[in-house]
Amino acid sequence: MKALILASGKGINLVPFTSTRPKPMINVGGRFILENTIRLLKESGINVINIVVGHEADTIVKYFERGGAFGVNIHYAYQKKVTGIGDAVYMVKDRFNPGEYFILVYGDIITSANIFNYTLQSFNMSKEPVASVCLTTSTKMFGNVYLNDEMRITNIIEKPRKGGLGNYVLSGVFILPSGFFSILEKTKFNMEKALRMIIKEIGLRASIWEGDWIDVVYPWDILLANKIIMDSLEMARISKSALLKGDVRIEGPVQIEDNVEIRAGTIIEGPSFIGANSFIGNNVLIRKYTSIGKGCTIGYGVELKNCILFGNSRVGRLSFIGDSVIGSNVDIGSGIMTINGNLDRSSVKSEVNRKIIDTHLNKLGAFIGDDAVIGSGNTLMAGAIIDTRVRIPHHYTYPKS
C-alpha cells in the first residue's frame, strides 16, 4: 500500500512559526512532525510515500529529498495555489492504480503511538474503506463523526457551527480506494461531500484511536504535541561524543545527541532532548518536557521548563524560559523572564490573527518567531506572540535618553 501525505497548507493560526516553514516542519520532541509521520509509516510497512507540498515547499524537499536517508521512496506533487483538501488529494490521482487502496494522512497530526498500524489492522479485518476517529476535549474545530451500532460512519460534518456536536472527530488518517478520485470529481473536489458520498455508496468503517492525539492548530498546541512525543521516551540515551564536564546530574529519560557540551552544576530532568552541537553552560536547570534543537547555546544559570527551541538559538545567562516555543536563530539576551501565568491563575489568553483566544491553559509563556532578537532585561507577558525578525531593545533604566 502507498501513502499520501498532505503537507501544503499555510497554517495561518500557527504564525509566527509557519511564516518561515511548512506546518509539518515544526519541531517537536527533537524531530519534525513530518519526520515522525514518515518514520511511523515505514514501521507500518509503507515504503512508497507521495507528499503534496505547497507553502515553503523547498524546506520539505531539501530535507527529505527522495527519502533514501529515511528508508522510503518519496514522490512530490506541488500545489502552487493552496486551496481545499480535496484539490490536494486529487492532484496525485495518476499515481494509484485502479482498484488499489491507499492511506491518506493529514500532515499535522501527532499521536502517542503508531496510529497507522492500528488503522491498517482495521482495514485488513474488513477490507472496506476506513477512517480513523478519536475523542478530543473539544470537537468544534474538527470534522465531527457520527457512528451506528456496527461502528460504521453514518455522517460527517466539518466544524459544526451550532449544536449537535458528535463525540468523535476525524483523526486525519484514512484508507480509501482509488475510486475515491472519481467521487472527488463528482463533488467538485469538496472533501466533506466526497466522504459523505463514499459513506452512502460504499460505506466507511470507523477505526477508533484511543491513544493521545493532537492536530496542531495553534502555537500552544506545539507544546502539547511535544509532551505526547516525549512521554513515549522510555530510557536515557547519551551520545558517546557528548562531553559532560564536572558534576552533571541527569534524571529520567534524557536524550543527548552528538557533540553536545554540558558544564558542571547542570541538572537535567527527563523526559528532555538536547540536539547535536549544543552548548549548556554551568548551573543550568533543564526541567521536564524541554526540547533543545541543534546548535543551541544556553548560558550560565538559565532555567528551561516545558519549552521548545527549534535550533541555532541562544539564551543568555540568568534567564527563565517556561512553557514557551522559540523559533530558529533566535537571540535571547541575559536576564529574560517569560511570565507563564496570570496572577489570579486564570487561563491565559493569546492574540492570533487579531483575535483574542482563550488557550484554556493556566501555564503558558511566549512564542518567538525565527531570527528575532530579544534584548537583555526584558519581561515577556504570558501568551505573548513575537513575530519573525522582530528586534526588542535592551530594557535599561540609565540613562533614560
User: Per residue in 48-61, pLDDT tens?
Assistant: 999 999 999 999 99
User: Per residue in 333-342, pLDDT tens?
Assistant: 999 999 999 9
Cell numbers representing residue 314 in the block = 541562544
User: Given the DSSP bridges, would you call strands 279-280 and 297-298 parallel, antiparallel or unpaired?
Assistant: parallel
User: Per residue in 173-182, pLDDT tens?
Assistant: 999 999 999 9
User: Per residue in 232-285, pLDDT tens?
Assistant: 998 999 999 999 999 999 999 999 999 999 999 999 999 999 999 999 999 999
Per-residue pLDDT band at 122 (split at 50, 70, 90) = very high
pLDDT higher than threshold 70 for residue 159: no
pLDDT higher than threshold 60 for residue 106: yes
pLDDT at 144: 83
Per-residue pLDDT band at 161 (split at 50, 70, 90) = low
Per-residue pLDDT band at 163 (split at 50, 70, 90) = low
pLDDT higher than threshold 60 for residue 172: yes
Sheet with strand 331-332: strands edge to edge: 243-244, 261-262, 279-280, 297-298, 314-315, 331-332, 373-374, 391-392
Per-residue pLDDT band at 131 (split at 50, 70, 90) = very high
pLDDT at 10: 87
User: Per residue in 343-361, pLDDT tens?
Assistant: 999 999 999 999 999 999 9
The Cα 391–Cα 325 span in angstroms is 17
Cis check: omega of the bond before 271, within 30 degrees of 0 = yes
pLDDT at 157: 83
Q: If you average pLDDT over residues 4-12, what whole number do you get? A: 93
Residue type, 160: P
Q: Please name which of 364, 369, 324 lies closest in space to residue 341, comparing C-alpha atoms.
A: 364
Q: Map grid coordinates 536563530 to a residue.
A: 329
Q: What average pLDDT is seen over the chain?
A: 93
Name the least confident of 91-95, 142-146, 217-221: 142-146
Question: Rounded to 5 degrees, what angle do the CA atoms 148, 151, 152 make?
Answer: 70
Q: If you average pLDDT over residues 136-142, what whole number do you get? A: 67
The Cα 251–Cα 284 span in angstroms is 14
Per-residue pLDDT band at 145 (split at 50, 70, 90) = confident
User: Per residue in 308-322, pLDDT tens?
Assistant: 999 999 999 999 999
Residue 125, SS3 per DSSP: helix
* Backbone angle region of 99, left / alpha / beta, with phi > 0 → left and psi within -120 to 50 → alpha: left
- How far are the Cα atoms of 49, 74, 79, 104 from residue 88, in angstroms, in the given order? 15, 16, 7, 11
In the chain, pLDDT over 90 holds for what percent of residues? 86
133, burial (CB in 10 Å: exposed 0-12, middle 13-18, buried 19+): buried
pLDDT higher than threshold 80 for residue 140: no
Q: Map grid coordinates 543550568 to a residue.
A: 284
